[in-house]
Amino acid sequence: MKLLIVVPALGLVYGGPSKIAVELAQSLGDLGISVDLVTTNANGSVSLDVPLYTWLPEKYHRIQYFPYWALSDYKISFSITKWLFQHIADYDLVHTNAIFSYPILPAYWACRWHRVPYIITPHGMLNPWALSYKAGKKRFYYAFLEKPALQCASAIQMLASTEAERIKPLNLKAPLVVIPNGIHRQDFEKLPNPELFYQKFPDTRNKTLIIFLGRIDPKKGLDLLAAAFGKVHTQFPQTHLIIAGPDNIGFLPTAKNYFTKAGCFDAVTFIGMLTGSLKYAALAAASIYVAPSYSEGFSMSVLEGMASGLPCVITIGCNFPEAAMAQAAHVVDINAEAIADALMQCLKHPQQAKAMGNRARQLILEQYTWERIASNLIEVYTAIIKKEPVPTL
C-alpha cells in the first residue's frame, strides 16, 4: 500500500493536527505502510528553515515541503498544487488532514481528476462551535469548496463518537469512521524529574500546579478558566496555574486580561509552548491538568495529561465521553462554575484525585496508543482500496 498524507503545515506553532500528521506517518510506516507526507513550510509568522521540493527521509516515511504565500488566514501554494496533479496517481490512497485550508483543496481536486480514493480528517472543524466561529468566511468556502469534497470522500475520520454525532445535521454522504488520536507509550513510561521544570520556572516551585496545555486561542476557553481559577485560588491560595502554549493569532493580551479581571493574574504563569523533555517535566510537576475548551476534535494534550497520570478536568467540548465512563476524568459542562467545582473536588480529595489519575493513565496506555490507532486505520485504508464496505471501528 502506498499512502500520501497531506497536511497544510507542520510548524510546531499549529499544535495538534501538525503533530498528529507526523506521528501517524511514523506509526503507519512502522507497520510496513509506504508513507509520503507533503506540506508547506508555514510556521506562523515565519517559515520553517527546511529544504524545499525534495524528499526528506525520516525513519519510516518521507516528507516534502513546498513554499507558500499567506492570504489572510489561508496558505496558498501553487507549487504543491502542481505537484499533487502530477504525482497523486502514484498513490493508492490519500489522507488529508484539516479543512478550510487551501493546500488541502488541490488534493481533493487531483484525487477526483485521477480517480484516487481519499479519506478526510477534519480535526474537529465541522463541530458546531468551530463552524460558527468566523462563520462569514466559512459559509461560502464550505458550501462551494469543502462540502463537495466531503461528499466525494471514501470516508471521513471522526476522532470521537460525539464528534460524529454532532456533524450528522450536515447530512454528509461519506461514511464516518470513529478512530481517535493516540500517544507513544514510551513517552510516558517514565516522566523526567520535575526539577528540570522548576529550574526553568523557579516561581512555580512549592506550589500546587494546575496545567493547561494548548494554543492561546478563543476556542480553548481561557475566559472560562480565568473565572474558574479565580474562584479556586481564593479558597486554595497555594495553587498556581501554568498556561503553556503558543500564541499564533495575537490573542495573548486578551487572555491575560481575563485573569487580570478575575483577580488571579499573579498566580498565573504564561510560559509559551513547551516541547520535549521540558513538557514532560511540566506534566510531572503538575498536580492537575485542565482543558476548558469550547470545541475540540480530540485533544492530544488531554491524552498527554491523562497518560501522565494526572487527575484531569475537561469539558464536554473535548469530545471524550469515554473518559467519564471509565471514571478517568472529570468531564464537565462548558461553564466556569462547573470547571471550578471539579478543580476544587480534586484539591479537596487528593487521594481520590490520584486514583482517578491512575485510571486515566491505564485507559490511555491500553487503548489510545499510536500502534493501535494505526492498525485500525490500516483496516479502513485496505477496505477503501479494495472497494469493500468501510469497517465500523
Mean pLDDT over all residues of the chain? 95
Q: Tell me: pLDDT of 393 over 70.
A: no
pLDDT tens-digit series, residues 258-299: 999 999 999 999 999 999 999 999 999 999 999 999 999 899
Q: Tell me: pLDDT of 15 over 80.
A: no
Mean pLDDT computed over 126-137: 89
3-state SS of 328-370 is: CCEEECCCHHHHHHHHHHHHHCHHHHHHHHHHHHHHHHHHCEH
Which of these, 265, 285, 266, 263, lies nearest to 274 by C-alpha position?
Answer: 285
Pair (218, 99) in one structural domain? no
Pair (274, 203) in one structural domain? yes
Confidence category of residue 46, pLDDT binned at 50, 70, 90: confident
Looking at the DSSP bridge assignments, the partners of residue 178 are 158
Q: Tell me: pLDDT of 174 over 70.
A: yes
Within a domain: 390? no
Residue 141 identity: Y
HSE toward the beta carbon, residue 365, CA cutoff 13 A: 16
Within a domain: 391? no
Percent of the chain with pLDDT over 90: 89
The residue range of the domain holding 189 is 185-367
Q: How far is CA 179 from CA 185, 298, 380, in A?
A: 18, 10, 10
pLDDT tens-digit series, residues 313-322: 999 999 999 9
Within a domain: 289? yes
HSE toward the beta carbon, residue 1, CA cutoff 13 A: 23
The model carries a pTM of: 0.91
CATH number at residue 266: 3.40.50.2000
Within a domain: 34? yes
DSSP tag of 143 = I
The Cα 149–Cα 170 span in angstroms is 13
Pair (197, 173) in one structural domain? no
Pair (268, 297) in one structural domain? yes
pLDDT of residue 56: 98
Pair (118, 257) in one structural domain? no
Query: CB neighbours (10 Å) of residue 253?
Result: 9
The Cα 253–Cα 104 span in angstroms is 32
The Cα 23–Cα 40 span in angstroms is 17
Q: Return the sign of the alpha-carbon dihedral for residues 95, 100, 106, 112.
A: positive
